[in-house]
A and B are shown apart, each in its own frame.
Chain A
Amino acid sequence: MLEILRKTNIDFMGQRKWAFLFSGIMVVLGIVALVQIARGSANLGIDFSGGTAVQLKFDQAIRIDEARKALEANGLDNAELQEFGQENKLLIRLKTSTTIEEKVADRVVAVFTKEFSSNHFVIDSSTEIGPTIGQKLQEDALIAIIISFAGIVLYVAARFELRFGIAAAVATFHDVLAVLGAFYILDKEITLLVVTALLTLAGYSMTDTVVVFDRIRENLRMRRRESEETIINNAVNQVLSRTIVTSLTVVLVLIPLTLAGGEVLHDFSLALLWGVIFGTYSSVFVASPLLMLWPGGSGRLLKRS
Chain B
Amino acid sequence: MKKVGGRLTLLALVVVMSVIFFLPSYPPLYHALPDLLKRVMPNKGITLGLDLQGGIHLVMEVDEDRAVEIAVDRSVASLQDQLVDKKIPVESVTRTGPTQVTIQFQNGDLKAQIQKMIDDYPTFSETESAGSANRLVWELREAEAKRIKDSAINQALETIRNRIDQFGVTEPIVQRQGLKQIVVQLPGVKEPKRARDLIKETALLEFKMLDEDNQSRLDLPARIPKDKEQEVLNQAEAKIPAGDQILFERGVDKDTGREYRIPYLVKKRVMLTGDVLSDARVSIGQFNDPYVSITFDSKGGREFERITGDNIKKRMAIVLDNTIYSAPVIQDRITGGHAQITGTFSMQEANDLAIVLRAGALPAPLKIIQDLTVGPSLGKDSIEKGVQATLFAGAMVVVFMIVYYRLSGVIADFALVLNLLCLIGALSALNATLTLPGIAGIVLTIGMGVDSNVLIFERIREELRLGKAVRLAVDGGYDKALLTIVDSHVTTLITGVALFLFGTGPIKGFAVTLCLGIGINLFTALIGTKVIFDLLNQRHKVEQLSI
Contacts and interface: CB of A to CB of B under 8 A. Distances in A.
A35 interface: no
Contacts of A28: none
Nearest to B393: A253
B495 A148 contact: yes
A260 B392 CA distance: 10
Contact of A253 (B447, B454, B462): B447
Range of interface residues on B (Cβ < 8 Å): 35 or more
Interface in A99-157: 100, 103, 105-106, 122-130, 132-133, 136-137, 140-141, 143-145, 147-148, 151-152, 155-156
B388 A98 contact: no
Interface in B440-486: 440-441, 443-444, 446-448, 450-451, 454-455, 458, 461-462, 480, 483-484
A207 B375 contact: no
By DSSP majority rule, is chain B's interface helix, strand, loop, or mixed?
A: helix
A38 interface: no
Contacts of B489: 207
A177 interface: no
A257 interface: yes
Given A98-B368, A250-B447, A254-B393, A148 B498 contact: yes
A143 to B, nearest CB: 5
Contacts of A193: 436-437, 440, 506
Interface stretch (B133-141, B142-150, B398-406): B398-406
Interface stretch (B39-47, B251-259, B279-287, B378-386): B378-386
Range of interface residues on A (Cβ < 8 Å): 35 or more
B365 interface: yes
A230 interface: no
B506 A192 contact: yes
Contacts of B396: 252-253, 256
B448 to A, nearest CB: 6
B504 interface: yes
A126 B368 contact: no
Contact of B502 (A143, A204, A214, A245): A143
B203 to A, nearest CB: 16
A196 interface: yes
Given A126-B373, A193-B436, A203 B514 contact: yes
A175 B390 CA distance: 24
A83 to B, nearest CB: 15
A246 to B, nearest CB: 5
Contacts of A4: 404
Interface in B488-547: 488-492, 494-499, 501-507, 510, 514, 547
Contact of B440 (A137, A141, A197, A249): A197
Contact of A152 (B386, B462, B491): B491
A252 B403 contact: no
A242 interface: yes
A282 to B, nearest CB: 15
A248 interface: yes
A128 B370 contact: yes
Interface string A182-204: 00000000001101110110111
A2 B400 CA distance: 11
Interface in B420-452: 436-437, 440-441, 443-444, 446-448, 450-451
B51 interface: yes
B51, B385, B462, B487 — most chain A CB neighbours (10 Å): B487
B226 interface: no
Interface in B352-379: 365, 367-375, 377-378
B156 interface: no
Contact of B488 (A106, A145, A210, A264): A210
B59 interface: yes
Contacts of A215: 484
B394 interface: yes
B495 A196 contact: no
A293 interface: no
A176 B161 CA distance: 43
A239 interface: yes
Contacts of A100: 63, 365, 367-368
A248 B405 CA distance: 14
B38 interface: no
Given A200-B510, A256-B393, A257-B393, A264 B436 contact: yes
Contacts of B444: 200, 203-204
By DSSP majority rule, is chain A's interface helix, strand, loop, or mixed?
A: helix
A133, A200, A207 — most chain B CB neighbours (10 Å): A207
Contacts of A204: 444, 447-448
Contacts of B223: none
Contacts of A159: 487
Given A265-B386, A268-B440, A144 B503 contact: yes
A156 B493 CA distance: 13
B193 interface: yes
A196 B373 contact: no
Given A127-B371, A206-B488, A262 B451 contact: no
A106 to B, nearest CB: 7
Contacts of A128: 368, 370-372
A57 interface: yes
B371 A200 contact: no
B397 interface: yes
Interface of B: 51, 59, 63, 192-193, 365, 367-375, 377-378, 381-382, 384-386, 388-390, 392-394, 396-397, 400-401, 403-406, 436-437, 440-441, 443-444, 446-448, 450-451, 454-455, 458, 461-462, 480, 483-484, 487-492, 494-499, 501-507, 510, 514, 547
Identify the 7 closest CB pairs spanning chains A and B, nearest first.
A130-B369, A262-B385, A148-B498, A144-B502, A124-B378, A128-B371, A151-B494
25 contacts: A2-B405, A57-B377, A57-B378, A98-B368, A100-B365, A124-B374, A125-B374, A126-B371, A129-B372, A132-B369, A144-B502, A156-B487, A168-B491, A193-B506, A196-B437, A197-B440, A200-B440, A207-B448, A208-B488, A246-B455, A255-B393, A256-B392, A262-B381, A262-B386, A265-B386
